[in-house]
Structure 1
Amino acid sequence: MNETTSPTLLHAVGVTKRYGDVLALAGVDVSIRAGEAVAVMGASGSGKTTLLHCLAAVISPDSGSIRMTRPNGSVIELVGMDEDARSAVRRSSIGFIFQDHLLLPDLTAVENAALPLIMAGTPRVDAEHRAAQWLAHLGLDGMQDRRIGQLSGGQAQRVAIARAQVNGAPMVFADEPTGALDSATSTDVMTALLQSTARQNRGLVVVTHDADVARRCDRVLHMQDGRLVGESFAPQQRAEAGSAR
């Protein structure tokens, strides 16, 4: 990633969030550039998941600014949006991956992956065609018609990765995406996630407790008591990513 030329996809300043007497976020500043993978680490209760949910327009902060550049080049302010407006942003510009993938067991892999497009109004045939292309890209060619219970944990998480990106979202967020996987499968899934997001000039933010996952990202943000208390970089990973593109 070339930080001098890569555009900023997400820029947050002074983000705060309080739950009753608990200050979950205490004025956090962070920017994410195109082609950048950022890990967020910290102990339970440090605020990392709250930060992820604010940046991904899942919840609205109490104060601050979060500006996102959409695929059409327009810049929008997420803070202060109501739920309907945030839902529209998530449908068009954001992908989200959960630790337990949260796929629908009664649907096939391709139906699960196509859901964001179908919900946005894309005809089912077109949506499933694009979803099938994503599944093939992620190594699941031939598994499109399998139900989730017929897939391994790693395969199911790849379906979740496809679902998060089928809408062409420039920003992808992942909450402990490898937390339920063994180490070998975790490595494979993280490789697929990096190659399909940051290495394709999207922005990726990963909340993780896994130091191995964090080391594969370009930058690691360390949180404590709702604040960013440190930042580290992985120049070797950036070099490897640059040579691969």
Structure 2
Amino acid sequence: MTHPQLQAVNLSQFYGPTAALDHLDLIIHRGQSVAIMGPSGSGKTTLLHALAGIDVPQDGEVYFHGATGAEAVHVMSAEQRAELRLKHFGFVFQAGLMLTELTVVENVALPLMLSGVDRASAYQTASAWLNRLGLEGMGDRRLGQLSGGQAQRVAIARAQVCGPEVIFADEPTGALDSVTSAEVLQALLESTAERGATLVVVTHDEHVAARCARTIRLRDGRIVADSEAADSEAADLNVPRAGAARTTSERVAP
């Protein structure tokens, strides 16, 4: 993988004396599935929010490498970042964060309609995604009528419906039992990989991380292990993958 999709350069975020991100450098390549792990307070969600343009870091640079080149997320206005998230990013959160007053199909179709797609076409595309994720015939239900696993499949459908280049998932299986978690994770991985999109997952679950192509571990706002670096070192030495890793620090954006 040679094409960057997301990039953080010297990223820092402090809350008083506590470093949520501490001069962090990171490149995520197009089409990768990446798990971000670490203990509570290590900076996982802060990093996801910075990469996704939800929050602007106190210092450093964030780039999204799209079809038209590198876009500097860290200098965008709130309105520009909202448009970036709508058009290029999809989100799956542990709690779903869907609108309970809307039906399932209305929730999935909403990003399309916000993008200017007419209602009929949006509903048709939303229904196709629901069918694809094993939720055929459930479009008229309310969220309260679904199981936890079904609700997360709805969240995946909503995240995928606009065809975003990047899916961000924050503990997407954290509230599910082990069997349902495996099923939901499989649906998330398959639906993202089939489109050639990039997946960034924040998780505490080693089973979730093991299913991703790359695992990044944080502690105190810094990358302390990166399986991609470990794989690269092992390949250079022509030896099996080592257990330790080093931080990737290459710089791509101007």
Fold conserved (TM > 0.5)? yes
Q: How does 1:29-108 map to 2 (within 5 A)?
A: 29-70=25-66, 72-108=67-103
Counterpart residue type for residue 84 of structure 2: V
2:211 counterpart of 1:216: yes
Once residues 147 and 40 of structure 2 are traced to their aligned partners in structure 1, the CA distance between those partners, rounded to angstroms, is 28
2:22 counterpart of 1:8: no
Q: Structure 1 regions of 5+ residues with no counterpart? A: 236-245
Cα drift, residue 199 of structure 1: 4.2
Q: How does 1:152-191 map to 2 (within 5 A)?
A: 152-191=147-186
| Equivalent residues, number | 230
Cα drift, residue 66 of structure 1: 1.5
Cα drift, residue 34 of structure 1: 2.2
SS state at 1:126 partner: helix
Cα drift, residue 23 of structure 1: 1.9
SS state at 1:134 partner: helix
Task: State percent identity of aligned pairs.
Answer: 51
Residue-by-residue CA offset, 1:40-65 (whole Å, 9 max, x unaligned): 00000000110010011100112222
Q: 1:231 to 1:194 in 2, by over 3 A?
A: same
Aligned to 2:240: none
Once residues 33 and 141 of structure 1 are traced to their aligned partners in structure 2, the CA distance between those partners, rounded to angstroms, is 33
Once residues 164 and 51 of structure 1 are traced to their aligned partners in structure 2, the CA distance between those partners, rounded to angstroms, is 19
Q: How does 1:99-138 map to 2 (within 5 A)?
A: 99-138=94-133
Cα drift, residue 22 of structure 1: 2.3
Q: Structure 2 regions of 5+ residues with no counterpart? A: 232-254
Per the normalisation by structure 2, the TM-score is 0.86
Once residues 6 and 12 of structure 2 are traced to their aligned partners in structure 1, the CA distance between those partners, rounded to angstroms, is 16
Structure 1 stretch displaced more, 166-175 or 141-150? 141-150
Counterpart residue type for residue 21 of structure 2: L
Counterpart residue type for residue 115 of structure 2: A
SS state at 2:91 partner: strand
Cα drift, residue 115 of structure 1: 1.1
Aligned to 2:227: 232
Per the normalisation by structure 1, the TM-score is 0.89
